[in-house]
Structure 1
Amino acid sequence: MLLPSCRSATGSDPRTDPPLVRTAIVQSTASAQTRSFTGTVAARVQSDLGFRVSGKVLERLVSSGQRVRRGQPLMRLDDADLRLALHAQEEAVVAAAARARQATDDEARDRNLAAEGVEPPAAYDRMRASAEAARAQLRAVEAQAKVARNATRYALLVADAAGVIVETLAEPGQVVAAGQPVVRLAHDGPREAVVQLPETLRPSLGSSAQAALYGRAGVVVATRLRELSSAADPLTRTFQAKYVLEGPLADAPLGSSRRRVATT
Structure 2
Amino acid sequence: MLDLRLFLELTGGGSRFCLDVDYSLSLRQGPVVLFGASGSGKSLTLQCLAGLVRPDSGRICLQGDVLFDSSQNIWLPARDRRLGYMFQEYALFPHLSVLANVAYARSGRRVWRPDPDLREEALRTLERLGLAHLAERKPGEISGGQRQRVALARALFSRPRLLLLDEPFSALDPLLRERLRAELAERLREAGIPLLMITHDPLDVEVFASSLVVYAGGRAQVFADYAATRRGFADTRACLTALLADAGERQDI
- TM-score, normalised with respect to structure 1: 0.21
In terms of fraction of residues, the more strand-rich structure is 1
TM-score normalised over the length of structure 2:
0.22
**Larger Cα Rg: Structure 1 or Structure 2?**
1
